[in-house]
Amino acid sequence: MDTQSIVTSKLGTQKIGMRVSNELPKEKDVNINLRDMLNDALFFEKHNLVSYQIAINEIINDDLRSLLTENRNRIQVLHTGLFNALFNLGEYQADVATSPQIKDIYDVFNGYKIQLPN
């Protein structure tokens, strides 16, 4: 995943990401396309990860917990691969944060941080 690539949207906003690939259709039709298949698989793996994590948290048997942890880690690798594939096809992009936005978030975090016990 190349997080150093910057694209500019039609409205002039800079985003981290790739241009939308020609492999993806410009308009949605009734056919299932590459974007649909990848998004469907990504959605499925997200839910698997949550389910596995809940099971790992609540399992009593150490051997079973170990097995579930190994399976969850394999699913995490699949999930990351699917997300990266969609990112590389230009499906996912993120706004580039400006210095004032970063400072605002930093200030909010520090405001919360002082509320935590020492």
Residue 17 has pLDDT above 90, yes or no: no
- Tell whether the model's pLDDT for residue 92 goes beyond 80: yes
Percent of the chain clearing pLDDT 70 (strictly above):
97
Length of the chain: 118
CA dihedral 102, 105, 106, 112 (to 10 degrees): 180
Q: How far is CA 86 from the centre of its chain?
A: 10
Question: What average pLDDT does the segment 38-52 reach?
Answer: 96
Beta bridge partner(s), residue 14? 8
**pTM (2 decimals)?**
0.72
**Average pLDDT for residues 45-73, to the nearest whole number?**
97
Is the pLDDT score of 14 beyond 90? no
| Residue bearing the bigger pLDDT, 116 or 47 | 47
Domain boundaries, the chain: 1-18+93-118, 33-89
